[in-house]
Amino acid sequence: MAQEFWVVGGHYRDTTFTLLADGGAEAYGPFPRYEDALLDWTDRSNRSRPVAAVRYSIVVTAPRARAA
């Protein structure tokens, strides 16, 4: 399995970014390439810029080990 890229995050309770606000986390993807995830992350980050307690990150899945 190839790596997949996800944009995850959302609205946090405050700017310590430790607890998500009610509504939970948001996840967008999977994206087959990092560049595709970066474009989505850029768009979401720019649209949420006025809200200091919103943060998104790009995460990658680890490839699964093959069965013997």
Q: Provide φ and ψ at 53, rounded to 5°.
A: -95, 15
Q: How confident is residue 68, by pLDDT bands cut at 50, 70 and 90?
A: low
Name the pTM for this structure: 0.84
Nearest-10 Cα torsion for 1, 24, 15, 30 = 20
Give the residue among 11, 47, 36 at the shortest CA–CA distance from 58: 36
CA distances from 32 to 2, 18, 23, 53 (A): 8, 28, 27, 28
Q: pLDDT digits over 6-50, tens only?
A: 999 999 999 999 999 988 899 999 999 999 999 999 999 999 999
Give me the pLDDT at residue 23, please: 80
